[in-house]
Structure 1
Amino acid sequence: MIKSAFEYLVGLGNTRIETIGDQKFATQPLHPVKMATPATILVHSLSGLVEYLQSEFDGPDSLMVHVNSPTEVECFSNFNRDFARNRLIKAQAMLPEFSFERWLDPESFNIKLQSCFVPNFDREVMLKVVGNIKEDAVKTYGDDGVSQTVTAKTGVATMEQVVVPNPVVLAPYRTFVEVEQPASEFIFRMQSGPKCALFEADGGAWKLKAMQSIKDYLHVALDKEVDAGRLVIIA
């Protein structure tokens, strides 16, 4: 047993490459020694990404900046001998949380409208409707499949049937704050309880707008690096 063990250990150091037909085989398993790649720096703003690239902290090598999504941008180098890239830095947007297609009570919905959406005309109309609903009358609302009405306070002591705005154009905070938040259409619905919910109605087109806005921002902020051929920005 000891002799066979020694023969095995000696055999480990005698790896050969044999050719059988058109195929090459190794007499021992081989494992590639991969080149090391750096840990990715994480930032939460486009300005942080721009400052890093302008500093040339890790050298002036040619880099590519890829806008992966409305909330993520990463920068990487050419591939190395292992066809792996150095992913140097990634920017991930920090955004307030809002759940679409989820029913909320009027108070919670009101707070989310004010904290998670850019002020505009439709947002103000919705705030007035949601903020003045009479809880004891919400169960009696009309619905023809598209429009809805609720009983709401319209004056000091006046109650009227108020039409619920639908669809509405809103701009939630859903991309980096350095660029304009893309506005899109939403379906605003209410149900007895009372409860309110928003449903996206643009098929995700806002994502393309946001990504193009990020690309335009980076092109302006990094125009010298792009003109010098050191950076390529894609979306």
Structure 2
Amino acid sequence: MDLTRDFIEKIEEMAAPETIHVGDLEYSHQHLYPVMPPRPEPLQTKSLSSIVDYLKGNIDQCDPEEILIHVVDEETVTVSSRLFYDLRTREVYMTADAPLPQLRLNDFIPRENFNIMLQSCFTEKGDRDSVLRVIGNISQQQSGGVEVSDDGVTQNVEAKAGTVLKTKATIPNPVNLAPFRTFTEIDQPLSPFVLRINEDMCVALFTADGGAWKQEAMKNIQTYLREALSDEAGNCPYTIIA
């Protein structure tokens, strides 16, 4: 009797998965993983128009009625297959991630940096130009400072010695601005911000809508894709969720 072989076979027998039936369900005391057929990696893109081009070109010969377009959030959209019921999985064909500029919100930054950010990372909608004028009216020399007073809603900035105040600056709040925070193909959502200036001449924008702009951006993405993928009669064969 080969004790070594018998011992190994006993271990293999004990290691084999066991299943238990409870009602109509079957359970296993081990995790079992299906052996999946080889699948290509999802295409990685940076725009919504690339999704439209891919689906209209239909190079992979997919049935539009079996395609799911998922607006995951304001920055990400995926194109995937229907659910494979036997494996309970989907195949992801494409992922689009919006290339976004770096925004410094909810933090005080030097006035010059704030000015550059406002012109390069925000659209012209809303109060952008008004904020630029207010911030541009204040400058500071080496000595002195600014005196800031506010009632919790508006701020008044007055000059001390060494500070040049071209005009009296009253900072209203909130201000409505539209930074680039989603795909450039759609309108950037306009949302309220609290604008603050501290005694060191640093400026900050604090978000003030509880993230409601994200839902608006997702709906705008959904609308863009539905319109771009619809036929002349206005019918879209794809399922788009947001």
TM-score bracket, shorter-length normalisation: 0.7 to 0.9
- Unpaired stretches in structure 2, ≥5 consecutive residues: none
Residues of 2 paired with 1:198 and 1:179: CA distance?
A: 23
Secondary structure of 2:148's match? coil
Please name the residue that 2:129 is paired with.
Answer: 124
Please name the residue that 1:76 is paired with.
Answer: 80
Q: How many Å apart are 1:178 and its aligned residue?
A: 0.4
Residues of 1 paired with 2:194 and 2:181: CA distance?
A: 17
Normalised by the length of structure 2, the TM-score is 0.81
Structure 1 residues 6, 125: closer, same or farther in 2, change over 3 A? same
Q: Is the CA contact 1:17–1:24 (under 8 Å) kept in the aligned structure 2?
A: no
Q: Percent identity?
A: 35
* Residues 5-154 of structure 1 mapped to structure 2, 5 A cutoff: 5=5, 8-9=8-9, 31-36=32-37, 37-61=39-63, 62-80=66-84, 81-120=86-125, 122-136=127-141, 138-151=145-158
1:205 counterpart (195, 199, 212): 212
Q: Which amino acid aligns with 2:109?
A: L
Q: How many Å apart are 1:129 and its aligned residue?
A: 1.8
Normalised by the length of structure 1, the TM-score is 0.83
Structure 1 residues 158, 218: closer, same or farther in 2, change over 3 A? closer
Residues of 2 paired with 1:19 and 1:110: CA distance?
A: 66
Aligned residues: 229
Please name the residue that 2:239 is paired with.
Answer: 232
**Could you say what the CA RMSD is over the residues aligned between the two structures, in angstroms?**
3.3
Q: How many Å apart are 1:94 and its aligned residue?
A: 0.4
Residues of 1 paired with 2:42 and 2:153: CA distance?
A: 49
Q: Is the CA contact 1:40–1:89 (under 8 Å) kept in the aligned structure 2?
A: yes
Q: How many Å apart are 1:41 and its aligned residue?
A: 1.2
Residues of 1 paired with 2:27 and 2:170: CA distance?
A: 77
Q: Is the CA contact 2:115–2:135 (under 8 Å) kept in the aligned structure 1?
A: yes
Please name the residue that 1:186 is paired with.
Answer: 193
Secondary structure of 2:215's match? helix
Secondary structure of 2:184's match? coil
Q: Is the CA contact 1:185–1:200 (under 8 Å) kept in the aligned structure 2?
A: yes
Structure 1 residues 2, 123: closer, same or farther in 2, change over 3 A? same
Residues of 1 paired with 2:21 and 2:187: CA distance?
A: 63
Structure 1 residues 135, 58: closer, same or farther in 2, change over 3 A? same
Q: How many Å apart are 1:224 and its aligned residue?
A: 3.4
Q: Which amino acid aligns with 2:146?
A: K
Residues of 1 paired with 2:166 and 2:225: CA distance?
A: 51
Q: Which amino acid aligns with 1:191?
A: N
Q: Which amino acid aligns with 2:57?
A: S
Q: How many Å apart are 1:7 and its aligned residue?
A: 6.5
Residues of 2 paired with 1:94 and 1:109: CA distance?
A: 21
